[in-house]
Amino acid sequence: MLPAHRSVTKGFFLLQCAVIERVGRRKLLIGGYCLMTCWGSIFTTALCLQSSLPWMPYLAMSCVFAFILSFGIGPAGVTGILATELFDQKARPAAYMVCGMLMWTMLFLVGLGFPFIMEGLSHFLYVPFLSVCVCGAICTGLFLPETKGKTFLEISEEFHRLNFPRQSQGPEWLGPEVILATEL
């Protein structure tokens, strides 16, 4: 690796850390998935129209770079940090193992199935990936708490409140029996 490339990589890493701390993990994940969906949709449209308009291949190539940049800004940078904030010390090694195994299994399956998807879907090749991005944004918005500036206890309470709203409201009043049971 060239020395100039190392300094650019270190600079990008420091910038990414600062952006993650300033904006927040949840917003970056949702924003990254939404941007990936946007650029992927434009890319699919550009692929469909590339034979009719001479400038569409350039738009398609620009969308590929924008898609990769959106992934780098959002999901790529936040995913590694998030596991350390969502799990306590006892569960963290198991969580890393499960996340790593799932990631590499999915990458293997995508790499193995990509030629068949490309052959079968032609210009609509990225529609399945766009649906995964939409599902990722929705799941992040519904089930993942913001971890920026919070303690592990606060994150756990918010995680429990988001995922189990009925149980986190406290005990329901069962009637006069509860009041009578508290008398001495």
pTM for the whole thing?
0.76
Q: Which amino acid is at 88?
A: D
Q: Please provide the CATH number assigned to the domain covering 22-166.
A: 1.20.1250.20
Give tens-digit pLDDT for 136-184. Answer: 999 999 888 888 888 878 888 887 888 787 765 555 555 555 444 445 4
Give the list of residues 6+ apart from residue 60 with CB closer than 8 angstroms, or none.
Answer: 43, 46, 47, 50
Give tens-digit pLDDT for 110-132. Answer: 999 999 999 999 889 889 999 99
Give tens-digit pLDDT for 76-109. Answer: 878 877 878 888 888 888 888 888 898 899 989 9
Residue of 24, 28, 62 lying closest to 42 (CA atoms): 62
Structure tokens at 47: 């692929």
Contact 90, 80 (CB under 8 A): no
For the chain, the structural domain boundaries read 22-166
Give tens-digit pLDDT for 21-54. Answer: 788 888 889 999 999 999 999 999 999 999 899 9
Owner of token pair 């969308």: 63
Q: Which amino acid is at 57?
A: P
Burial of 151 (0-12, 13-18, 19+ CB in 10 A): exposed
Residues listed for the chain: 184
